[in-house]
Amino acid sequence: MACNPVDAPAVGPGQGSRMTGRNSRLLSLVLFAALVLPGPAHAAALHADLLDAAGQPLADAVISLNGPLDASQAPPPALMDQRDKQFQPHVLAVRTGTLVSFPNSDDIRHQVYSFSPAKRFELRLYQGTPSEPVLFDKPGLVVLGCNIHDWMLGYIYVTDDPWFAVSDENGRAAIAGLPAGRYAVTLWHPGNPQLLPQAAGELQVQGQTLSQRFTLASSGPAEPPAPPAPSAFGEAFRKAAEDAAQ
Ligand SMILES: [Cu+2]
């Protein structure tokens, strides 16, 4: 790292003034950023109500916005948990380039996999948190399954859009910190028959909080399938499968 001043081998009498020059350059960069980049005072929030075709609130729907600024920093890591033999959350939205960890909060083992073109992977049968998170480096939909529990179904929606949110059980999704500008809106929900994202027009943001309704082409709420009721045969079969996999 020859360009790093800390590693520079020569410490001469000129260093003091060099550092001062560097500091003043840094200061002007900070001032430039403060003048050019939109501050919190100009940032707006979007409160979206996501509804199905019948006007009912849709949980686990994704809204994403493509707008005036690209997010250049690496996206923060994300979590897809496994709890009570379900993926938790049912739908996780992340930006392309996100590292996702798959902790297992159950006291049994899971074997998570996906055959989706956006990310094919398999985590060997495990308990606790696997050491390596998985990098989601292509936009697209990643459908998750578990080799031990057939009903386990989860979705990771990977988007290039810098702003996105997943709706809660009331169909509400909030996105904060939006600079003023025009945004292209995209919606997605696992109840969509083709699992395809849906363009939803443009949004003009001007520094105020916006409340807006969006209707998704959806066949209705997509509840995660429930674990099958335990039966003597089913339990014995499951145990045999788990033992065989060990
Ligand atoms: Cu499982």
Give residue 146 CA to ligand 1 midpoint distance, Å: 5
Domain 44-245 has CATH 3.40.50.720: no
The structure tokens listed for 9 are: 């081998």
Measure 239 CA to ligand 1 centroid, in angstroms.
12
Centroid of ligand 1 to alpha carbon of 115 (angstroms) = 16
Closest CA to 157 of 113, 99, 93, 96: 93
Q: How far is the CA of 137 from the centre of ligand 1 (A)?
A: 24
Q: How far is the CA of 86 from the centre of ligand 1 (A)?
A: 7
Ligand 1 centroid to Cα of residue 224, in Å, is 14
Buried b (16+ CB within 10 A) or exposed e, 92-105: bbbbbebbbebbbe
Ligand 1 centroid from CA 110, angstroms: 4
Residue 201: phi and psi, rounded to 5, are 80, -160
If you measure from the C-alpha of residue 153 to the centroid of ligand 1, how many angstroms do you get, rounded to a whole number?
A: 10
pLDDT at 111: 93
Q: Rounded to the nearest whole angstrom, what is the distance from the C-alpha of residue 148 to the centroid of ligand 1?
A: 5
d(CA 22, CA 219) in angstroms, rounded, equals 59
Per the CB < 8 A criterion, the answer to whether 50 and 190 are in contact is: no
Residue 77 CA to ligand 1 centre (angstroms): 22
Ligand 1 centre from 92 Cα, in Å? Answer: 18
In whole angstroms, give the CA distance from residue 141 to residue 91.
Answer: 10
Q: Could you read off the pLDDT tens digit of each residue along the chain, which spans 246 residues?
A: 333 333 333 333 333 333 344 444 444 444 444 444 444 456 799 999 999 999 999 999 999 999 876 666 789 999 999 999 999 999 999 999 999 999 999 999 999 999 999 999 999 888 887 778 999 999 999 999 999 999 999 999 999 999 999 999 999 999 998 999 999 999 999 988 788 999 999 999 988 899 999 999 866 555 555 665 554 444 544 555 555 544
- Distance from C-alpha of 122 to C-alpha of 176, rounded to nearest angstrom: 34
The pTM of the whole model exceeds 0.85: no
> Residue ranges of the domains in the chain?
44-245
DSSP state of 193: T
**How far is Cα 69 from Cα 176, in angstroms, rounded to an integer?**
14
Q: Which two tokens stand for residue 165?
A: 């949110």
CA distance 189 to 56: 13
> In whole angstroms, what is the distance from residue 123 CA to residue 134 CA?
9
Q: What three-state secondary structure class fits 151?
A: coil
Q: How far is the CA of 87 from the centre of ligand 1 (A)?
A: 9
Q: What pLDDT score does 11 carry?
A: 34
Q: What is the pLDDT of residue 155?
A: 98
Closest CA to 181 of 152, 203, 208: 203
Q: What is the distance between the alpha carbons of residues 170 and 194, in angstroms, rounded to a whole number?
A: 24
